[in-house]
Every structure is written in C-alpha cells, then in structure tokens.
A and B are shown apart, each in its own frame.
Chain A
Amino acid sequence: MTTPRKTKQQWREKSYEPSIKKVPERQKSFKSNSSYDIDVLYTPEDVSAVDYDRDLGYPGEYPYTRGVQPNMYRGRLWTMRQYAGFASAEESNQRYRYLLAQGQTGLSVAFDLPTQTGYDSDHEMSRGEVGKVGVPICSLADMEVLFKEIPLDKVTTSMTINATAPILLALYIAVAKKQGVSSEKLGGTIQNDILKEYIARGTYIFPAKPSLRLITDIFKYCGDQVPQWNTISISGYHMREAGATAAQEVAFTLSNAISYVNAALEAGLQIDDFAPRLSFFFVSQNNFFEEVAKFRAARRMWAKIMRERFKAQNPKSWQLRFHTQTAGVSLTAQQVENNIVRTTVQALAAVLGGTQSLHTNSMDEALSLPTDKAVTIALRTQQILAYENAVADTVDPMAGSYYVESLTTTIEEKANAYLKTIDDMGGSLAAIERGFVQREIQEAAYQYQRQVEKGDATIVGVNKFTSDKAETHNIMRIDESSAKRQLARLAEVKKKRDPNAVRHSLKRVEEVAHSKDNTMPVIIEAVENYVTLGEICDTLRKTWGTYKEAIVF
C-alpha cells in the first residue's frame, strides 16, 4: 500500500470538520473501554511508529503478536472447552460425557464453593452451597465417579481451582493411576492463581506466603512428574468481570504473572524449567476491536517480559498461551436470547485474537446455572464460527488494520504504565495488600455503573429497547437429593477407610507444612488414603492460619 498524499489533518479540515458542522456526531466523544478517545479515523500516520519486525513479527516467532503457532487454526482449531459441573459427581460425569459426545474437545471442571474454599460437604460453612455452582469433591471416591469412563490419557481437563489446587491435582493424578494412566501422560490445566483470588474472585484460604509456596511446589512437582500439565492459568478474567478495564486486565494479569515467576525463582527453580507451562486466561468482552487488540498486546508484552526482564532462553517460555471465556457480566436477565448474540461477537473477538481454547457462556447464566439447551447452543456457536464462517482459515487477519494496530500499541502503553506503578510499589502482592489493585477495579466498576444509570452506556433490553412483555424461563435447579447423596458418600468413605492411614497421612501433611519440602507427594499420599479435602485444609489452616482480606469499597 502506498503512503497517502494528503495528511489526516488536511482531511480533517477539508472534509471532516465541515461535515460535522452540518450533521453533528451522535456522541460528544467516543471512548474505549479503557477510557481513551477513539478517533474518527485511523490511517498509516497512526501506525507510523510500528516496526513490523520488532513489534509484530511472524506467527510462531518472537514477539508473537500475531500468534503462538506458525499456522494457528489451519492446523488445529482452538479447543472448545465448556466449563461445567453441578449437583454431584454422577450428574457432572453425565454432562461431561454428553459434551464430549457433542464434539467438545476438552473438559473444564467447575467445583462447588465448599470444594474451592476447603470445606467438606458436611461442614457448617457448606450449608446451601453443596453442588450449587459446581461439583462437590471431598475425597477420591467422588473423583472416581466424576471421571468414570472418561479416559484421562485421551482428554485434557481444565480445573478451575485455586486455594485447593494441590489437592485437586493430587486427586486427578490418583484417579488416573487407578485407570492405569501414569502422570506423564496427563494433560490439562489447574487455575492455581491465588493473587487474583485476593483481588477479585474470593476463594482464597491461606495467607500469601504459604499460598505462593504451594504454587511453586506444583511448578516443581509437575516439571518432574506431570510434564504436560499447565501448572497455572494466570487469570485476568475475574478482575475484568469485577470491573477492570481492558488495559487493567492485561496489566494486573501480567503483574501477577511476574510475581509467580519471581516466587519460583526465589524457590530455586530455573526459568526455562517452569515458564513453558505457565498459561493465561482472559475474558472476551463487548468492545470488539479493543478486545482483539488486547490479546495481541498481551502476547507481545509477555514475550518481552520473559526474554528481556527474566532472560528466558527457551522460545516456549516467551509464548503467552491463553484460554478465553466470554463475559459473564455482559449477560442480561432481560430478553435472555440476546445473550446468544453478545456471546457470538465476543467469541469471534477471542478467535481473531488467537485464543488457544474458548468457553462460550450460555444465554441463561444471568438467571441460574445453564440448562442443557442453552449449553448446547453455546457450544454450537463456537462450531459455527469454526466451520461455517471461515474466520479460522488465515492467521491473525486483523493485523495491519490501522485501528487495531494502533489500539494494540495503546493497550500495551497503558498496561506498561500500570506495571511500572505496581513495580514501584514492590510488586503485585504489595499492591494488593495496600488495596491499590482492588480500588482501581472498583473505581472502574462504579464509573461504569453510573454510565449505565445515566444512559451514557447502553445495555440493550436493560436501559434501552426494553420490553414490558413478561418472560418465562426454564431454570436449571439443583435437586436437593444430590446433596444428600454426596453427604451419604462422604459418610461411607469416612466409615470404610483405614483410620490409622488417615491419622498418619494428616500427621505427614502437618509435618510437610512446617518444613520446606515439596507438599505434593504428601498430599497425593493422603488423598490415596481417602483423606478428605476438608481434613487436609483444616490441618493446613491450623498450621498456616488464613488470609485476611483488606476490605475496600
């Protein structure tokens, strides 16, 4: 393409300004989600500072702006991975087998809140929560049912689990062993990202220091024993859902990632031994072009951070591989079918942004857990994008768009400014302990709410184009008999297991918690003896205490 003869300024004066004098624009200003001004037009002038070799490069090559694989989806499509789990191990197992039969290519396990926060189903804190937002897992007996007839050497499994990640990973390794599958053959991901739990998601248990130790223990253990496992999924998703802007999402995710890398280096690990197994998780929100730019900017930033700051040598350490989920907060309880359209556009942004795997939300998730029908439509949305729309046939098709390249640079600049601020505070943990990150996110959330209530931001069906017509919905309800069955199985496990082995295992857990040794082998031994998740967590809580949140509002 040749350089234009006229400058953007000349065009502004000659054509644009006279035109808007006659017909004013529909808004005084146009702002991106990260609240910078969007210009009326982007031209070669806006990307004149972009150096192709330095800033974009080729796919599969540093700095990976255009994607982590040379041919991206022409080889293998992204993994279609619907997050699911509810009621009990039996029902969740059925849902997984149904999804696999429908052409889903990976599993993604949702655990209930007691499992995520370290309580067995029979604990007082678990009242009302057993099986509500995911599957309850107390012991190996539950895990055996959850993965019944699912060959763990053939599917990869993502588990959204953080504070109790070592226990769930141990259970997964143990159940695979029972299937005759050795740990080297296991593929999957645990979220294992405690810092964003402190910031936004809330399922923390232990204080920061032992929590970070559990994480680096997993890095080390998996490096030796479960080499194909993604040991962490460093997540911007929940911070964005809590209100962060696109630039904040990138910045806070990467600053948390830097903290994990530092923690691992301090624990004596070598950068290229664990960095290739780090993975990421972002949202895909409504602001279509900015989201595509966000994914591209994140890849470029991570590559530079790993190569320049941490001096990683292995190209795999430079590659930001990520999972994407469409935006739960964008779903409306009003006119729920509209959510299918929102999700489709968000999914398209994730694909054009080069995601490795994708979860598309179901239309009814502002009401309850999704129904079968809604889940199927959500999966079909991905399949239509993949197979009918030809959006996956060439690599990084948005590259070279003046607008998208300019946005990519802007997001990188904004996020880098945040990274510097956080570095100056002493890193992520210090910034979290001061409430800085939380306050930034809450401020953005509050401002957005005000925009919606003033009508400056439009939500179709909520503050514009509303309907008085009564809506009826099929709602997914968790049957109370599921929780009863779960409690019965837990009671039976406790009756049948060897009490001496349990006592011995828990003593070992306590000892390893006090020591500097790797916690994973001891936790695996405990779960194999049918020690429960709640018992292990109680022992660790007794040893380490619990995290106290600085409440900011």
Chain B
Amino acid sequence: MVSAQKDTIRVLVAKPGLDGHDRGAKIIARALRDAGMEVIYTGIRQTPEMIVTAAVQEDVDVVGLSILSGAHLELFPLIVDGLKKKGKDDAVVLAGGIIPEEDFARLKAMGIQGVFGPGSSTQDIIEFIKKTVGAKKGK
C-alpha cells in the first residue's frame, strides 16, 4: 500500500554561493508547491556542505540549485559529490540561473540531470520533475 504522503515529491530548493538573487528560486519553490510538491527552500548563502546535509535530513527526491554569480562550475561538483558520499545520490539534481549553454554538457556529465537557464517555464520544470522522479519511484 502506498499512502498519498509517500507519493508526494519532496524538493529542496537551494542557493549555493553568496549571490542573493533569489527571485527565480522563490518563484520555482512556489510553483512546485502549487503543483502539489513538498518544498523546502534553504534561503541564500548556503555552503555545499549545508545543502548536502539538508538534502539528507529532509530525504528529498529532488535538489534544485540556483546560482547567478557564475560560481556553478566550482560549487555544483562539491554538492553532487557530497550527495554521493552521503549515499543520497538517488536525489535528482537540477540547476538553474545564469548558466551559459556551453556549460550544460559539463553539468550533465557531473550528474546534474536538468539545467534550466533564463526564460525556462515553471511548467517545463514541473513536468521534468514528475517524469524523472516518477520513473524512479516506479522502479
């Protein structure tokens, strides 16, 4: 038997690094919540270690990372590796912010499953999460 609670997708929206641009992160957090997901938003200025700990503690299905300062290539690997080390690599990691398209391939290679740059629609992100997490949960 699967309870309704267990079906609810749990998402951690996190802001690694020092930039305070959280308009996008908050819009996404709210859109995911409106789509029926359980959303935890960390607030700004989180270290990779803090984000990994929160993902483990909250046992989330998805970690959504938002960064606009250009520090993504330095900070994202620390989070992905941290999740692996803590055995939390079942979480789907997504990224957004000011990320040039030419970096998308590198981010995907390091294990970030979806990258959503400027102009992305929240609907696309919701569908992506439902599809990806749904497939995992179905296993």
Contacts and interface: CB of A to CB of B under 8 A. Distances in A.
Sort A-B residue pairs by CB-CB distance and give the 6 closest, nearest first. A202-B20, A128-B74, A128-B71, A113-B18, A333-B118, A553-B26
B23 A367 contact: no
A3 B49 CA distance: 70
A132 B70 contact: yes
B26 A117 contact: no
Interface string B94-114: 000010111000000000000
| Chain B facing A: main interface SS | loop
A551 B41 contact: yes
A473 interface: yes
A379 to B, nearest CB: 22
Contact of B18 (A114, A197, A329): A114
Interface stretch (B1-9, B81-89, B119-127): B119-127
28 contacts: A113-B69, A116-B18, A124-B47, A127-B71, A128-B17, A128-B75, A129-B69, A132-B69, A133-B69, A200-B20, A202-B45, A241-B23, A329-B23, A332-B118, A333-B118, A333-B119, A366-B118, A367-B98, A367-B100, A368-B98, A442-B26, A442-B30, A446-B27, A446-B31, A473-B100, A473-B102, A549-B44, A553-B29
A197 B20 contact: yes
A553 B19 contact: no
A119 B18 CA distance: 10
A114 B20 CA distance: 12
Interface residues of A, number: 44
A488 interface: no
B100 A113 contact: no
Interface centre among B26, B43, B75, B101 (most CB of A within 10 A): B26
Interface string A354-376: 00000000000011110000000
B45 A333 contact: no
Given A368-B100, A453-B123, 12 more contacts: A124-B47, A129-B17, A129-B71, A132-B71, A133-B19, A243-B23, A329-B23, A445-B27, A473-B102, A475-B102, A478-B70, A551-B41
Given A117-B18, A117-B45, A449 B69 contact: no
Interface string B39-51: 0010111010000
Contacts of A462: 119
A125 interface: yes
Contacts of A256: none
B38 interface: no
Interface in A471-515: 473, 475, 478
Interface of A: 113-114, 116-117, 119, 124-129, 132-133, 197, 200-203, 241-243, 329, 331-334, 366-369, 442, 445-446, 449, 452-453, 459, 462, 473, 475, 478, 549, 551, 553
Contacts of B41: 551, 553
Contacts of A333: 101, 117-119
Contact of A127 (B21, B43, B75, B101): B75
A126 B18 CA distance: 8
Given A129-B69, A445-B26, A459-B119, A202 B100 contact: no
Contact of A549 (B26, B31, B43, B70): B43
B103 to A, nearest CB: 9
B64 to A, nearest CB: 13
A366 B98 contact: yes
A101 B85 CA distance: 52
A133 B70 contact: yes
A473 B100 CA distance: 9
B70 A368 contact: yes
Contacts of A334: 119
B122 A449 contact: yes
Nearest to A115: B18
A93 to B, nearest CB: 20
B123 to A, nearest CB: 6
B44 A202 contact: yes
B135 to A, nearest CB: 25
B58 to A, nearest CB: 15
A115 to B, nearest CB: 10
A475 B101 CA distance: 10
B118 A201 contact: no
B100 A125 contact: no
Contacts of A201: 20
A449 B21 CA distance: 16
B38 to A, nearest CB: 13
Nearest to B18: A113
A475 B23 CA distance: 24
Contacts of A369: 70
A132 B43 CA distance: 21
Contact of A113 (B17, B22, B26): B17
A202 B42 CA distance: 14
Contacts of A125: 18, 45, 47
B119 A453 contact: no
A465 to B, nearest CB: 13
Contacts of B117: 333
Given A129-B17, A132-B69, A453 B121 contact: yes
